[in-house]
A and B are shown apart, each in its own frame.
Chain A
């Protein structure tokens, strides 16, 4: 065997190992960046539960004040903080940014999902056939809307126009499903808060199967689930005050942050969002603020 051939083999092995490491073995940390305590007029946040972001915009569901706040993200710095307050919005708990920067909000009191124009004008509520009780929702990269319908034990998938495309039944013998998330390749994940289990349904599947069991060894009460562009799963542990990281292969990759009052710490964290630049936002409910972190890989 020639020296060239040996070098080639070495390079192939080295690159493969690097890819495997980057995909599955990379260490993920979140580093504290800044906190948002108020809007652009200095009015303080109150029990915020929702955050949504893309590379340029951050939206906050300031739940206790029945309003949304809109910020722009420029080179990792937040600007603005204009209030969006409309009568159709009584208790915004979760927020998402749809295709064409439309704003979608889940109102926990009305149990409805409102659709707003990018500048915050009310357009409509999503309408469903029969009795539907949404608990949460997510929007994928194509603008499809995934609604967690706890009354009928299913996930409803709607297209951009709000028409139902399909539905996926909840798994058997679940505890209580609090949230859902969609990964970049279209897999749907469910978070069971009481059994501390994550379920998965592949893109075309009509049912869920367990993806990660036994999370209660690590987590107190997971309440929100988010997936980044690389497929890494982040869970906010409501009672534990931490962010738990789960790898694409389902391995537990540790806790980030912790329970507390000081900046960088969390008390009863709620919705999380991550943009493609690695900006990471958490609605830090009981600390009346939203915190910004940077994902470090």
Chain B
């Protein structure tokens, strides 16, 4: 009886396996039949037919990882054999062709998406036919990522203190296509991602962090995950209280109910140490108002550590354009570029905290300000200065900004009018035609 049951079970399993195989083979047959039928190809005239002309593919097919449609000879899954409006005789835009099969790579709820994937430039990372690297990648490991992310490569190579997962591969922490959880394609939120390796309850860890419960904090406000020249891979520019482990200079004690709460709000906290600077600011007529907002100094500065000088949160041009995007865009549109802006050095002309001059210019005289770089213009130029009244407005004198707009215009030499003659005849009306 028992033997009979076993036999029946085996037959059932064979039938089940047979049925699954049949369905699978039928599907492959149907797909190939469809693509054959679509172009009315002769029986067997699939990839083989293409290879008659595309002879180099014989070598490509020998590579370790071959894209499935190439392997099965389904060239027409991606290419149109007769005519196409897209490059490489593709049947659609590059990205769209890939998405026909790989539509699940970027979820609708993605928190961050790799720009390359979003724009459908899959072939920047993958070889659509074959490769000797897994996933048909053009290069193996970090070499591929560093092809574009050169600045990160540079900092990784230079870093005195390395973060081991970086050497293991960027994909240790990042998803290459999109992440549903983290920013910057991180596989998880911070600190959850870091806590997968770092044990926060170890005495040495707690000691390093002055017993503050950093397991709930964002590690990347202090640490550079790609490595750094500072011990503990802190960002290269560290706020002194952090480097001297004086967290309680700004924060409540680690044993308190709210250990991360700061002792004072906004600029009042920073004033404790930077009193001269704050007092100097308050002696000026014009303030950079974000300084007095609730965020205070943290509107622009990082309180812990950063890659930027002066503990700026981001490179100056990026930081300033967060609020003054119109000004930065004007420069981008301008035919002639003003080097200090192009180089992202806004403080060549502006004082970031406070000054007595409009636009927080660091010089009361526009002519002297421009003259710091354009020195010759001060003595061999159109008459400018306090003695020369602007004919358009009796309350203004002629100076550099009478003709130029320092952040650029749509005209050459960032003049206010399309032609030189139009500019000059604004004042010299007698020469107007």
Contacts and interface: CB of A to CB of B under 8 A. Distances in A.
B395 A287 contact: yes
A261 B327 CA distance: 20
A286 interface: yes
A288 B292 contact: no
B284 A109 contact: yes
B314 to A, nearest CB: 15
Given A47-B358, A221-B324, A288-B396, 19 more contacts: A37-B394, A37-B395, A109-B285, A131-B265, A150-B293, A150-B294, A151-B265, A153-B293, A176-B290, A176-B293, A178-B289, A193-B323, A194-B324, A221-B327, A262-B392, A262-B393, A285-B358, A287-B393, A288-B393
Contact of B358 (A220, A239, A286): A286
Contact of B426 (A131, A220, A221, A261): A261
Contacts of B323: 175-176, 193-194
A133 interface: yes
B238 interface: no
A151 to B, nearest CB: 6
Contacts of A240: 326
Nearest to A219: B326
B47 interface: no
A68 to B, nearest CB: 16
Contact of B289 (A91, A150, A152): A150
Interface string B341-367: 000000000000000001000000000
Nearest to A240: B326
A259 B323 CA distance: 21
B402 to A, nearest CB: 8
Contacts of B290: 176
B31 to A, nearest CB: 46
A108 B393 contact: no
Nearest to B405: A259
B410 interface: no
B294 A289 contact: no
A288 B289 contact: no
Contacts of A239: 326-327, 330
A216 B330 CA distance: 13
Contacts of B338: none
**Most A Cβ at <10 Å: residue of B292, B293, B324, B396:** B293
B322 to A, nearest CB: 7
A67 interface: no
Nearest to B394: A37
A292 interface: no
A197 to B, nearest CB: 13
Interface in B294-350: 294, 322-327, 330
B429 to A, nearest CB: 11
B78 interface: no
B385 interface: no
Nearest to B401: A286
A135 interface: yes
B290 to A, nearest CB: 6
A111 interface: yes
Interface in A88-119: 90-91, 108-109, 111
B326 A221 contact: yes
Contacts of B285: 90-91, 108-109
Contacts of A46: 395
Interface string B396-431: 100000000000000000000000000000100000
Contacts of A38: 395
Given A175-B323, A221-B326, A44 B289 contact: no
Contact of B287 (A47, A108, A220): A108
A154 B404 CA distance: 39
Nearest to B284: A109
A133 B395 contact: no
Contacts of B393: 261-262, 287-289
Nearest to A193: B323
Contacts of B426: 261
B404 to A, nearest CB: 13
B9 to A, nearest CB: 63
Shortest 8 CB-CB distances between A and B: which pairs?
A: A288-B395, A220-B326, A261-B392, A194-B323, A133-B292, A150-B293, A91-B285, A44-B395
A151 B358 contact: no
B395 A151 contact: no
A113 to B, nearest CB: 15
B390 interface: yes
B268 interface: yes
A45 interface: yes
B286 interface: yes
Contacts of B294: 150-153
Contacts of A111: 292
Contacts of A193: 323
Contacts of A268: 358
B305 to A, nearest CB: 25
A17 B415 CA distance: 48
A31 B390 CA distance: 24
Interface string A204-223: 00000000000010001100
8 contacts: A108-B286, A131-B265, A150-B292, A150-B294, A151-B265, A221-B326, A240-B326, A289-B393
A151 B266 contact: yes
A176 B395 contact: no
Interface in B134-175: none
A48 B265 CA distance: 33
Nearest to A90: B285
B233 to A, nearest CB: 31
A194 B266 CA distance: 20
Interface in A200-255: 216, 220-221, 239-240
A175 B295 CA distance: 11
A37 B390 CA distance: 14
A288 B358 CA distance: 12
Nearest to B395: A288
A175 B324 CA distance: 11
A152 B265 CA distance: 9
Contacts of B325: 194, 216
Contacts of A135: 289, 292
A261 B396 contact: yes
Interface in A19-73: 37-38, 44-47
Contacts of A109: 284-286
